[in-house]
């Protein structure tokens, strides 16, 4: 499997706090990854760096073989220009914990507008795709609703559709059910599972839903203190974690683990 994402010795600080500590990570094209671990362990930061919302202090990240935060000028790597970042962002889409839908636009327009502005497709094309995606996430009857007229779960499904409309090769999901009431979590997770099984999009998910992670992911990464402590197949990590830190963390979520 060809790697679509590579982190080489990547470090990131917030002031004097080291949030990523010499991270190395390879993600295969089409792979579904679940990132788990205590809060503050750096897993959300990885997504935000990939989405170019946070810079890195050292190391190199490549996406589809091209450096993300750098570009080549006369054979030397220099910090990326905004133009380069814009090119790279075409490959990547993100769904946020707080949905971040545009409140002044209807659900359908939220999905249409980015296609029209960024991908320069026609209004009709954008509308058709938006309608199809609203079907996919099970909201075909909510097209003309504004975000504030939708439940959290419905808003999040619109946000997923909006990200999908841009045809990203990599999708990032940052704790997408953490802000939801418990009864609304499943409707969002089942949409994620549907996308995972029906597309070859590479997916990175930061989540605290362990049952979901187990079903959804090809590989689980356990993070602590800015490093990958343990990684592997869901079966192995959830039934027989090797590292004491992984075991300690998972005990809170999985009954029967000792």
Partner 1 sequence: MEWDWNVVASVTPSLLNGLIVTVQATIVGAVLAYVLGLVIAILKMSGNKAVAFITYWSSEFIRRTPLLVQLYFLFYVLPDFGIFLSPFVAGVIGLGLHFSTYTSEVYRAGIENVPKGQWEAARSLNYSAYHTWRFVILPQAIPPMFPPLANYLITMFKETPLLSAITVVELFNAANIYSNSHYKYLEPMTLVGLFFLLVSIPAAMIALKIENKYKPLN
Binding site for partner 1 (CB under 8 A): 51-53, 86, 89-90, 92-94, 96, 98, 100-104, 113-114, 117-118, 146-148, 162-163, 166
Q: What is the smallest separation between the CB atom of 92 and partner 1, expressed in angstroms? A: 8
Q: What is the smallest separation between the CB atom of 98 and partner 1, expressed in angstroms? A: 5
Judged by beta carbon, residue 133 or residue 163, the one nearer partner 1 is: 163
List of E strands, the chain: 3-14, 17-28, 32-36, 58-63, 66-67, 70-73, 76-79, 92-95, 170-174, 202-206, 219-224, 227-232
Judged by beta carbon, residue 52 or residue 202, the one nearer partner 1 is: 52
Please say whether the beta carbons of 206 and 47 come within 8 A: yes
Judged by beta carbon, residue 179 or residue 257, the one nearer partner 1 is: 179
Judged by beta carbon, residue 184 or residue 220, the one nearer partner 1 is: 184
Judged by beta carbon, residue 60 or residue 116, the one nearer partner 1 is: 116
**Distance from CA of residue 170 to its chain's centroid?**
8
Judged by beta carbon, residue 94 or residue 184, the one nearer partner 1 is: 94
Task: Please tell me the distance from the alpha carbon of residue 201 to that of residue 67, in angstroms, as a whole number.
Answer: 20
Instruction: Give 159's contacts (C-beta < 8 A, 6+ positions apart).
Output: 95, 96, 99, 100, 101, 110, 176
Q: What angle do CA 155, 117, 202 make, to 5 degrees?
A: 60
Tally the residues of the chain: 258
Q: What is the smallest separation between the CB atom of 150 and partner 1, expressed in angstroms? A: 11
Which SS3 state, helix, strand or coil, does residue 219 take? Answer: strand
Q: What is the smallest separation between the CB atom of 53 and partner 1, expressed in angstroms? A: 6
Q: What is the smallest separation between the CB atom of 181 and partner 1, expressed in angstroms? A: 16
Q: What is the smallest separation between the CB atom of 82 and partner 1, expressed in angstroms? A: 8
């Amino acid at each position: 499997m060809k790697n679509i994402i590579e982190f080489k010795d990547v470090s990131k600080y917030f002031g004097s706090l080291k949030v990523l500590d010499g991270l190395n990570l390879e993600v295969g094209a089409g792979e579904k990854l679940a990132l788990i671990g205590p809060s503050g362990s750096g897993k959300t930061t990885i997504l935000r760096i990939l989405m170019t919302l946070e810079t890195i202090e050292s190391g190199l990240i490549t996406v589809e073989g091209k450096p993300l935060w750098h570009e080549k000028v006369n054979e030397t790597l220099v910090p990326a220009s905004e133009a380069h970042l814009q090119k790279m962002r075409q490959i990547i889409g993100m769904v946020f914990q707080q949905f971040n839908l545009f409140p002044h636009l209807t659900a359908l327009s939220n999905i249409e507008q980015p296609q029209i502005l960024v991908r320069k497709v026609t209004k009709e094309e954008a509308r058709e795709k938006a309608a199809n995606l609203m079907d996919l996430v099970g909201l075909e009857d909510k097209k003309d609703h504004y975000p504030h007229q939708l439940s959290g779960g419905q808003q999040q499904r619109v946000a997923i559709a909006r990200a999908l409309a841009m045809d990203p090769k990599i999708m990032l999901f940052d704790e997408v059910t953490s802000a939801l009431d418990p009864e609304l979590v499943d409707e969002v997770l089942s949409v994620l599972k549907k996308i995972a099984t029906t597309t070859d999009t590479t997916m990175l998910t930061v989540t605290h839903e362990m049952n979901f992670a187990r079903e959804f992911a090809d590989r689980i990464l356990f993070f602590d203190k800015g490093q990958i402590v343990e990684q592997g197949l869901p079966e192995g990590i959830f039934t027989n974690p090797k590292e004491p830190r992984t075991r300690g963390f998972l005990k809170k979520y999985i009954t029967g683990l000792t």
